[in-house]
Structure 1
Amino acid sequence: MKKSLILMLALLPFVVTAQKSYTLYGKLSTLKVPAKAYLVTLQGNRFKETDSTVIKNGEFRFTGKVNEPQSAMIAVKTTAGKQADNLSFYLENSKITFTGKDSIRTAIVSGSVSDREDRELNAKIRPMTNKIMKIQREFSKDHGVAANKTLEERSAAQDSLNSYVAQIKNIRLRFVETHLNSYMGLSVFNTSILDSHFDSSLVKPLFDKFSPQLRSSPLGELAADRILANGKRAVGVKIFDFTQTDINGKPFEIKSLRGKYVFLDFWASWCYWCRKENPNVLKAYEELKNRNLEIVSISFDESRASWENAVKQDKLPWLQVSDLKGMNAKEGLAAKLDIKAIPQNLLISPEGVIIATNLRGEDLPAKLSALIK
């Protein structure tokens, strides 16, 4: 009996959010002017008004259902024509109340497990983010004293920033590890653990600890897909066969370069740091093009004109290919490899196996030379 009780308590956060519908009840006790309340939710990639109601005697109510918890907002607009008063929260299928005086912005939210956990996490992170913002303001070019900072002071500030960022990452990791039956735990896992440069072999064991219900949820399936796609570009994995179109409109198959070292460079014309890195790639090309090395730049542009102009401006003589689907298309190469940030690159052996990732900088020729036999 005791073990069963412990198991039920562990699963409680997920059970609470497993209700089939939500009821939102708001009470603004001193709001006397005519007003309406609006429920704003994320639809596709944009926030839109989902429902609205007239506030009577300071009270409003919404009912409905969501497939899984999501970021939402209550907006209150008065007939006086003032700007809407807003409050962001996490909407889930539960009974959620908003208690305030004459402003929804300062109302207290209760009843949403996801919202409570999100606020608790942000409260732990806030001291570090405040310190980060303070340093950034102090060293901003627009700040009056920034020009007087010494090199030592700037170096110390950067060390502090790195430390605060590391602390935030550790807090989020501990949150995930202690919320494996919680939607917010899975949400933070997706946004913080599955960052733009995660290692699938390191994060999968943690993902596998989430409850079966969460792993099979839409967000869980998204995480699983990202981990699977990321594994396709891990060191030691054979690069999967893919086809792109070169800048002359001809098909290019990666398997056509078997027997050679291949440096796959992912970039785009709009990517500032990609363009800054192109001179280093050009230098590597000029020094190593006779050492059984092929460079292939894969653009995540959506505009052919922008892509072609960037290739001409940066004077890139090696193979240029693209599916012109950008980074967000579900069927594009970026999605198939789970590439969320650029520049990135892969070095592939003559056997088609990935042997290094993200080699860059002024010493790129030396880094590549050391890996090419």
Structure 2
Amino acid sequence: MKYPMYSLFLAAAVFGATHTSCSESTPAGSAETVAAAKDGFEITGQLRNAPAGTKVYLSELTETQFVSRDTAATDAQGRFKFKGSVTETGLYQVKVNEANQVLLALDNKTKVQLTGDAQKLGTDYTVKGSKDSEMLQQVTRTMNQSRKSLESLNARFQANGQAGREDSMKIIEQQFYKAQAYSTASLKKLMLQNPKSVVSAFVMTNLVNPDENFGFADSLATGLKASIPNSRYTKALVAKLEPLRKTAVGTVAPDINLATPDGKTVSLSSLRGQYVLLDFWASWCGPCRQENPNVVRTFNKYKDKNFTVYGVSLDQDKGKWEKAIQADGLTWTHVSDLKGWQSAAGQAYGVTGIPMNFLLDPQGKIIAKNLRGEQLEARLAKVLK
């Protein structure tokens, strides 16, 4: 069984692993940049447990990494200061070391006061003077709480899996889904309260799955295009949403015409009139193979009630594909062009990770995405009642 780790992965990527990457550039506090604008930002900080001379680093979050902008050192009271100017409102990292860092939003009118514990900076800090930075602190708190909850549930899930307690695993899985939903709801509430903020654009692009929340994301992007159209964060969100538009919930699923293992071409549209689970997977994908028993169980339960599955494999080896179909007891329609990630169907649906699925109604319209385990059964029970 695949255990969903989407929120946890995002939390680690943005509030942890991404921070390890940085490169040198012109310091934000240099004479050149300070003189470039009449106004400028100022960060006044004071850290507990920071001996005199403790280095503090300021980095800018670009599209792919943190880029070093300036360095300061604390005095005997743990105080430090950064001054400089920016070309647009952006997100910046103030870091003592990899384990102790915070995110701030800076523009050329920002005067931020930052206080905290240098040894617990990620969880013990206060920021004042910037509404966007205060929002980032709320986001950080939400993600930290989510990470702790999901890590605990994942540990329990794995322990019960090793003990063979499948009933307990199902209960924990549902708790995991609820915890994910709660975290997403909390972040969406913050974005609704700050619809014109670059932080909202950043959060929607990086911390909330825009594919599963397309309507919300599209509405937010529309507002951001009106309020801060030139922001790189607005542009990043718009760019991320564009390829998702053609497979958003409510749209008619793009047709697929690929060959089955025996060489016969079967189109997705040929299954119109039934509810169809369009399932992207591969024989080499461990999480896919773990999820297959859930799909088999659901298929067997509803196959005589106007439901079927259309499996699209991202395999490249026909023999391994066929062997996996047989081994996992996948008795529905299977197609593939054996081009792996270059699969025409995968590219048409913007597939960048598997397993990934789409539930279609009898008219071929997408009504849900990425239903796992009992979620799929629950949705089918509702539509096929």
Cα RMSD (Å) of the superposition? 5.5
Which residue of structure 1 aligns with residue 354 of structure 2? Answer: 342
**Mapped pair 1:92 → 2:92:** no
Which of 86, 93, 96 is the matching residue for 1:72?
93
**Mapped pair 1:175 → 2:202:** no
Name which one, 1 or 2, has greater alpha-carbon Rg. Answer: 1
Q: Match for 2:324: what amino acid?
A: D
Which of 265, 276, 279 is the matching residue for 1:265?
279
Which residue of structure 1 aligns with residue 205 of structure 2? Answer: 190
Deviation at 1:46, TM superposition (A): 3.8
Deviation at 1:181, TM superposition (A): 1.9
Contact 1:39 1:75 in 2 (8 A): no
Matches within 5 A, 1:115-264: 115-123=133-141, 139=156, 163-191=178-206, 194-198=209-213, 200-201=214-215, 203-210=217-224, 212-214=226-228, 216-234=230-248, 237-240=251-254, 257=267, 260-261=270-271, 264=278
Q: Given the two structures, how large is their TM-score scaled by the length of structure 1?
A: 0.58
Matches within 5 A, 1:38-117: 38-47=57-66, 50-53=68-71, 55=73, 57=75, 58-61=79-82, 63-65=84-86, 67-70=88-91, 72-75=93-96, 86-93=100-107, 94-99=110-115, 105=121, 108-117=126-135
State the alpha-carbon separation in 2 of the partners of residues 56 and 192 from structure 1.
32
Aligned residues: 316
State the alpha-carbon separation in 1 of the partners of residues 367 and 354 from structure 2.
16
Q: Given the two structures, how large is their TM-score scaled by the length of structure 2?
A: 0.56
Deviation at 1:207, TM superposition (A): 4.2
Contact 2:283 2:324 in 1 (8 A): no
- In structure 2, relative to structure 1, the CA distance for the partners of 1:109 and 1:190 (3 Å cut) is same
Residues 147-181 of structure 1, C-alpha deviation per residue, up to 9 Å, x if partnerless? Answer: 8x996x88877666655544433333322222112
Identity of aligned residues (%): 17
**Structure 2 runs not aligned, ≥5 long:** 1-37, 327-332
State the alpha-carbon separation in 1 of the partners of residues 366 and 71 from structure 2.
59
State the alpha-carbon separation in 2 of the partners of residues 164 and 346 from structure 1.
22
State the alpha-carbon separation in 2 of the partners of residues 348 and 40 from structure 1.
45
Q: Match for 1:320: what amino acid?
A: S
**Mapped pair 1:321 → 2:321:** no
Q: Match for 2:335: what amino acid?
A: L
SS of 1:88's partner is: strand
- In structure 2, relative to structure 1, the CA distance for the partners of 1:70 and 1:325 (3 Å cut) is farther
